[in-house]
Amino acid sequence: MSTLIWIAVVLVVIAVYLSWTAGRLDRLHSRLDAARAALDAQLLRRASVAQELGTAGVLDPAASIVLYQAAHAARQSEEEQREVAESELSQALRAVFEDSAQAEAVRVAPGGEDALGELTEAVRRVPMARRFHNDAVRAARALRRHRTVRWFRLAGHAPFPLAFEMDDEPPAALGRVPGTEEAER
């Protein structure tokens, strides 16, 4: 009789552990979904501001075309091509704002200071959102690699999380926009 009690206790402990692990995995997947939504929002915001700036007429025609096309491609890209399109938008932003003269031309235009500030903020938030997303991916992957999770299929049918890899280096000229230094402090 005592053997049955010990077996029952062990089974209850195992069940509690599996339930706790499944709950933890579920919370990590929820965190991953929230981080992905935040990343998508920041990428969309950056592309929208860049596209708006490309059509505002404050940049030279070549820079406007480059910026508009890259931003449009980033907004319209399919999920499989999203990382490439977002990287190309980062490259276009660096090409357009490689020196502070272009940023100064935007700033002196009517409403340009606000547009440049909004673009600077959007460009700075993308790497943070990507870092949060990739941290959530790392945590979920680490838990999903445990034997217990695999053996008991605790992840269910959830797809294996993938990191979002892109070029998110901000343009140097946007780092020197007056008025943004106060926001950094």
Q: Which of 101, 19, 112 is nearest to 63 (CA)?
A: 101
The residue type found at 139 is A
Least confident interval from 18-27, 76-85, 102-111, 122-131: 102-111
pTM comes to 0.86
Distance CA 79, CA 84 (A): 10
Q: What residues contact residue 151 under an 8 Å CB cut-off, 6+ apart?
A: none
For 98, list phi and psi in degrees, rounded to 5. -70, -25
Cα Rg of the chain, angstroms: 23
Least confident interval from 4-8, 124-128, 147-151, 176-180: 176-180
Decide: helix, strand or coil at residue 130.
helix
Identify the pLDDT of residue 57: 87
Using CA atoms of 4, 5, 8, 10 in order, give the dihedral in degrees to the nearest 10: -110
Per-residue pLDDT tens digits for 124-142: 999 999 999 999 999 999 9
The domain ranges of the chain are 27-160
Distance CA 133, CA 57 (A): 35
Distance CA 120, CA 184 (A): 12
